[in-house]
C-alpha cells in the first residue's frame, strides 16, 4: 500500500483496475473500448480520458479513473481519531476536486452522440464507502456536475448492461442480414425458375423439331431409299434402320417459388 503514495503509481494502478473491470464485462480492446485516446480539437488542447466505451447506436461513454487515496491511506494508518478525521476530510476534498476538474473538461461535448455525463471510476469499494461516510451528499454533488461515481462493482454492472446492448445489437444486425439474404435468395430462385422454364420450352421445341424431321425422313426419304433393297442394289446384309419419334414431354415447374416471376410476367 505504501507504493500508492506516489501519484504516478496511483494513476497507473487506477487505470489497470479500470481495464480489468471492462474486460470482466466481456469487452474487447479497440472494439468496444479504447484506452488513452485523445479527443477534442487538433490545436494542442485535446484531452485524453482514460477510456472510451462504445455504446450501441454510435454513442460514446467516457470513463476516467481517479485514485486520490494518499489522504485515505493516512486515515487508515492514523493512530488517533482526530488525525483520522482530518485525513478523511482531505480525502473527500480531493475527491470533490477531481469531480470539479473532470466536469470542467466536458468530455460529452467532444462527441456528436454521447450521454451528458462522464463516469469517474474509484478503483476500490472502500474508497467510495469512506467518502460517502464522510460526505453523504457526495453522489448528489457529483451528479449535479454531470459526473457519475462508480466503483468496480457498480461499473461492472453498468458495463454488463452495455455489453448486453451490444449483443442485442449484433442479433438485430444478424436478423437484418438474414432477412436481406432471404429476400435475395427468393428473388434468385424466381429468376432460376424463369430460366428453367425457358430450358423446358426449348427442349419441347427441340423434341417437336426432332419428331417433324423424323417424320419427314421416314415418309419422304427412307421409303424411297428402301426401293434399292427391292431392286437388289443395296449392299448385302445392310438395311435401313427404323426411325422412331419421341413421345415424352418435358415436365413443367410447379413450385410457386420458381414460377412466381413467370406468372408476374404473364
Give 16-53 pLDDT, tens digit per residue.
666 777 777 666 554 455 555 555 544 344 567 777 88
**Position 129 in a domain:** yes
What pairs with residue 121 in β-bridges? 65, 150
**So what's the pLDDT on residue 42?**
43
For residue 131 the three cell numbers come to: 467518502
Report the number of distinct structural domains present in the chain.
Answer: 2
Residues constituting the chain: 266
| Among 113, 102, 120, 116, residue whose Cα is nearest residue 47 | 102
- Spatial neighbors of 127 by CB under 8 A, at least 6 apart, are 67, 69, 72, 91, 151
Residue 37 sits in the same domain as residue 148: yes
| Among 127, 139, 109, 92, residue whose Cα is nearest residue 49 | 109
- Could you give phi then psi for residue 238, rounded to 5 degrees? -110, 140
Residue 190 sits in the same domain as residue 147: no
Q: Average model confidence (pLDDT) for the chain?
A: 76
Residue 95 sits in the same domain as residue 179: no
Residue 148 sits in the same domain as residue 185: no
pLDDT band at 210 (very low <50, low <70, confident <90, very high): confident
pLDDT band at 8 (very low <50, low <70, confident <90, very high): very low
**So what's the pLDDT on residue 96?**
92
Residue 109 sits in the same domain as residue 199: no
Chain centroid to CA 31: how far? 10
Residue 39 and residue 47 in contact, taking contact as beta carbons nearer than 8 Å: yes
**So what's the pLDDT on residue 4?**
45
* pLDDT beyond 50 at 92: yes
- Spatial neighbors of 9 by CB under 8 A, at least 6 apart, are 3
**Given 135, 159, 183, which residue is the final one in a domain?**
159
**So what's the pLDDT on residue 34?**
56
Q: What is the pLDDT of residues 120-147, one digit of tens each?
A: 888 888 888 888 888 999 999 999 999 9
Q: What is the pLDDT of residues 171-201, one digit of tens each?
A: 777 888 888 888 888 888 778 777 878 888 8
How many Cβ atoms are within 10 Å of 254's Cβ, its own excluded? 7
For 179, the enclosing helix (H) or strand (E) is helix 152-216
In this structure, of 6-15, 23-32, 76-85, the range with the lowest mean pLDDT score is: 6-15
147-150 and 118-121: which strand pairing? parallel
**So what's the pLDDT on residue 43?**
39
Domain that holds residue 102: 2-159
**So what's the pLDDT on residue 30?**
44
**Position 166 in a domain:** no
**So what's the pLDDT on residue 16?**
67
Residue 60 and residue 111 in contact, taking contact as beta carbons nearer than 8 Å: yes
For the segment 108-128, the average pLDDT, to the nearest whole number, is 81
Residue 46 sits in the same domain as residue 143: yes
Amino acid at each position: 500500500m505504501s507504493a500508492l503514495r506516489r501519484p504516478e503509481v496511483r494513476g497507473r494502478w487506477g487505470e489497470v483496475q479500470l481495464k480489468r473491470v471492462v474486460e470482466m464485462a466481456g469487452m474487447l480492446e479497440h472494439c468496444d473500448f479504447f484506452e488513452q485516446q485523445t479527443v477534442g480539437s487538433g490545436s494542442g488542447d485535446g484531452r485524453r480520458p482514460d477510456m472510451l466505451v462504445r455504446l450501441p447506436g454510435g454513442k460514446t461513454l467516457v470513463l476516467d479513473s481517479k485514485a486520490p487515496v494518499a489522504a485515505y491511506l493516512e486515515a487508515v494508518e492514523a493512530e488517533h481519531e482526530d488525525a483520522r478525521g482530518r485525513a478523511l476530510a482531505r480525502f473527500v476534498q480531493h475527491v470533490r476536486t477531481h469531480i470539479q476538474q473532470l466536469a470542467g473538461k466536458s468530455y460529452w461535448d467532444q462527441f456528436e452522440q454521447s450521454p451528458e455525463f462522464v463516469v469517474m471510476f474509484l478503483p476500490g469499494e472502500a474508497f467510495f464507502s469512506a467518502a460517502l461516510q464522510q460526505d453523504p451528499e457526495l453522489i448528489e454533488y457529483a451528479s449535479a456536475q454531470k459526473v457519475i461515481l462508480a466503483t468496480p462493482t457498480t461499473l461492472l454492472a453498468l458495463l454488463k448492461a452495455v455489453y448486453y446492448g451490444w449483443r442485442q445489437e449484433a442479433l438485430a444486425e444478424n436478423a437484418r442480414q438474414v432477412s436481406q439474404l432471404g429476400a435475395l435468395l427468393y428473388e434468385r430462385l424466381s429468376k432460376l425458375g424463369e430460366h428453367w422454364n425457358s430450358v423446358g420450352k426449348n427442349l419441347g421445341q427441340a423434341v417437336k423439331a426432332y419428331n417433324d424431321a423424323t417424320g419427314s425422313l421416314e415418309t419422304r426419304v427412307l421409303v424411297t431409299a428402301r426401293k434399292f433393297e427391292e431392286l437388289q442394289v443395296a449392299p448385302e446384309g445392310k438395311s435401313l434402320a427404323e426411325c422412331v419419334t419421341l413421345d415424352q414431354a418435358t415436365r413443367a415447374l410447379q413450385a410457386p417459388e420458381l414460377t412466381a416471376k413467370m406468372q408476374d410476367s404473364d
